[in-house]
Structure 1
Amino acid sequence: MTEVRETLDIAANRRARKWSRRALAGRLAWETVGVLLFRIAPRPFWAWRRGVLRLFGARIGRAVHIHPTVRITIPWTLTVGDEVGIGDRVVLYSLGPITIGARATISQHVHLCAGSHDFRRPDMPLLKPPIAVGEEAWLCADAFIGPGVTVGRGAVVGARAVVVRDVAERTVVAGNPARPIGVR
């Protein structure tokens, strides 16, 4: 019996065009100017950071508190509802769209990952599946939300949970992988 194996074509992956020139220019502007303007503002300068994000195409609601240590990959794919809190050192890896509903809380060190690769294909193309966090949801400290996941309205994701499947409304999940443990 002969085993047939496809090898990863890393060179093809690196040659593949994943971004338009305009997107690359925007990312360069964000990384060189935008991030600096975003981070220099002291913690209580919430309006300043909202303004910088809006300048770079993010749709940010009113009374949003985003800490200066938050890392945002591509702001123009980010939509944040009113009265949202995004804590220290949160990672918004927004290759694909990330939408956060009104009054949601994203605690410190949470990682929302809206980007991955199709490991089933030898060229491992870039994928940009969206993430949606419902209104009044709470993502507790150090949680990981994977690509393509929807966290329902009022749901709670426990500390350090790894969420790779959708979470229903008002459901409390915890663990790795995250599993339902209660109802809010």
Structure 2
Amino acid sequence: MTAPRIDIAANRAARKWTRREQAGRVLWALVVIFFRFSPRPLWGWRRAMLRAFGARVGTDVHVYPSARITIPWNLTLGAGCSVGDHAILYALGPITLGPRATVSQYAHLCAGSHDWRDPAMPLTKPPITIGADVWICADVFVGPGVKVGDCAILGARAVVVRDVAPRSIVAGNPARPMGTRDQ
């Protein structure tokens, strides 16, 4: 059986973003230096920059200057949430953080992938939804399309590729239930 012939050139040439999105991505790439090199306590400055690029940002949100945000207009940050040092919010699709959610240092929320079932491997942009009062510990990877329920804890270096129930504590690769969070 021969493998199906895939037109890679056509896949690369396919338009994955509108002209407006492409322009926004270029503009964000040009101004993100003002985000990344802002002093740490300038939380309001970074909130204002994210809002200027279409992010929905609640009150008292803390995003550290070293956090990497790919497409801010796909981002919703609930009141009081925090995004730590060197966290990656790869927001090709929507990423929503609920109120008071914490994304610790070096965590990676990846709302983009490719459909491996299609030989052309087209880009997909499944949303990530993080509930209220969730703690995403250091170095956690959260895959595309994952929903994390309120008050859950994703243990350090966990690889989370399936939904997590509210109040669950998960850890490992792949992430497995380790317990539940007390009321």
Runs of at least 5 residues in structure 2 that lack an aligned partner in the other structure: none
| Letter in structure 2 aligned against 1:51 | A
1:167 paired with 2:170, answer no
Within 5 Å, give how 1:121-132 maps onto structure 2.
Answer: 121-132=118-129
Within 5 Å, give how 1:1-184 maps onto structure 2.
Answer: 3-33=1-31, 35-184=32-181
| Letter in structure 2 aligned against 1:124 | M
* Distance of aligned partners of 1:127 and 1:44 in 2 relative to their CA distance in 1, 3 Å threshold: same
Structure 1 vs Structure 2 CA RMSD: 0.9
**TM score, norm. by length of structure 1:** 0.96
Runs of at least 5 residues in structure 1 that lack an aligned partner in the other structure: none
**TM score, norm. by length of structure 2:** 0.97
Identity of aligned residues (%): 62
Secondary structure of 2:11's partner? helix
8 Å CA contact 1:9, 1:122 repeated in 2: no
User: Deviations along 1:113-154, whole A, 9 cap, x unmatched?
Assistant: 000001111211110000000000000000000000001100
Count of residues in Structure 1 that have an aligned counterpart in Structure 2: 181
